[in-house]
Structures are given as structure tokens and as C-alpha cells.
């Protein structure tokens, strides 16, 4: 990247490219190929949950950088169509994905903002993993009880997520639209 600032539209395209790299199906499989999906959880549903988590990561990142509804909304308006184009979902799958993404965005924002340290992060990423694998227990979730998840996947996903956020944030601070 050059030191020239990107327009808001170029920033959306940059984020879509970064998303493809960070949250593509190949990355999903690197984390979850050894995980057993719950009965009734299809790979398509697991991928929808994975992509919903990816959308949360990028949306959260934009809010932490710009803290402006107008700027974040404008960037997301150019990011989301590029993202949907990348996902190549049929109409019914796209509807399922958009529904899941909308629900999870609110859920993940509230939970992530409530984290105070490592134990809270472990609970947060355990919930994400259990959503993806389909092992999420709604009763435990409503009571705030941690979800069962593989600790090695939990640690790897947490570390990976913060790496993605850090590298994307640095690129946006260097070349993204003015704050």
C-alpha cells in the first residue's frame, strides 16, 4: 500500500479483500475441520455463523477506529455488497446468512464489550465456537454460563482474531480515509 489515503469506497473494497483473506472458507476449515458439528448443524450453517463472526470483527474494528456513525456506515455500505459478492450465496442461503449475521452482530458486540480479561475472552470465544459448530446451548447462554468448546480452538481463534484486527487497523490508520 502507498501512503496515499483511500476513499471511503476504496476502504470498503480494501476491507472486502482483507475479509476474503481472513475469513474465507479455507480459514474456516483450518479452524474447524477437526470439530464435530452438532446434529442438525450443516456446513452451510456453520459457514454462515463463521461469516457472521467475521462481519462482527470488521464492524467492531471500524467502530474502534472511526467512532463515527456516518463514516462507519459509509464504509460498511461499500463493504457489505463486496462481501456478499465474494460469498456467492444463493438467495435462500443469503437470507439465512443475513439473519444470522444481524442477530450475532448485536449479540457479539454486547458480549465483547463486556469482556474484562482473559477469562471473559475465553467465555466469548467459547460462545462463538459453539455457535459455529452448532453446540450452543440456549439455556446456558441465557444464564451466561460458558459454552463447552475445545480450548485449543478457543485460544487459536482468539489469537487469530486479534492478529486480524491489529493488522487491518494498522493498514487503515496508514492509508484509510481520514478520521
pLDDT tens track of the chain, all 179 residues?
Answer: 456 888 877 888 899 899 999 998 899 999 999 888 999 998 888 988 999 999 999 999 999 998 888 888 888 888 888 787 877 777 777 888 888 988 998 899 989 999 999 888 999 999 999 999 999 888 876 777 777 778 889 999 999 999 999 999 999 999 888 76
| CA–CA dist 118, 52 (Å, integer) | 23
pTM, rounded to two decimals: 0.89
- Between the alpha carbon of residue 96 and those of residues 44, 55, 145, the distances in Å are 10, 14, 26
The answer to whether the beta carbons of residues 78 and 58 sit under 8 Å apart is: no
Cβ atoms within 10 Å of 161's Cβ, excluding its own: 21
- pLDDT of 1 reads 47
C-alpha cell at 33: 475441520
Three cell numbers at 160? 487469530
Q: 150 and 35 in contact (C-beta within 8 Å)? A: yes
Q: Retrieve residue 72's grid coordinates.
A: 462507519
Q: What pLDDT, on the 0 to 100 scale, is given for residue 158? A: 95
Distance CA 152, CA 79 (A): 31
| Rounded distance between C-alpha atoms, residue 147 and residue 131, angstroms | 9
Question: What CA–CA distance (Å, rounded) separates 106 from 27?
Answer: 24
How far, in Å, CA of 89 to CA of 95, rounded? Answer: 9
Q: Would you state the pLDDT for residue 2?
A: 53
Residue the block writes with cell 480479561:
117
Amino acid at each position: 500500500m502507498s501512503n496515499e489515503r483511500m476513499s471511503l469506497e476504496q476502504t470498503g473494497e480494501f476491507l472486502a479483500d482483507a475479509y476474503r483473506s481472513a475469513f474465507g472458507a479455507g480459514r474456516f476449515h483450518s479452524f474447524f475441520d477437526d470439530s464435530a458439528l452438532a446434529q442438525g448443524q450443516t456446513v452451510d450453517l456453520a459457514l454462515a455463523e463463521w461469516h457472521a463472526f467475521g462481519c462482527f470483527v470488521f464492524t467492531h474494528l471500524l467502530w474502534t477506529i472511526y467512532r463515527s456513525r456516518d463514516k462507519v456506515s459509509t464504509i460498511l455500505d461499500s463493504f457489505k455488497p463486496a462481501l456478499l459478492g465474494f460469498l456467492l450465496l444463493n438467495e435462500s442461503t443469503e437470507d439465512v446468512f443475513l439473519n444470522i449475521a444481524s442477530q450475532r452482530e448485536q449479540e457479539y458486540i454486547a458480549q465483547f464489550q463486556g469482556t474484562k480479561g482473559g477469562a471473559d475472552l475465553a467465555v466469548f470465544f467459547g460462545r462463538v465456537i459453539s455457535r459455529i459448530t452448532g453446540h450452543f446451548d440456549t439455556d446456558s447462554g441465557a444464564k451466561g454460563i460458558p459454552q463447552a468448546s475445545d480450548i485449543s480452538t478457543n485460544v487459536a481463534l482468539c489469537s487469530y482474531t486479534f492478529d486480524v484486527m491489529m493488522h487491518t487497523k494498522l493498514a487503515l490508520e496508514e492509508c484509510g480515509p481520514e478520521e
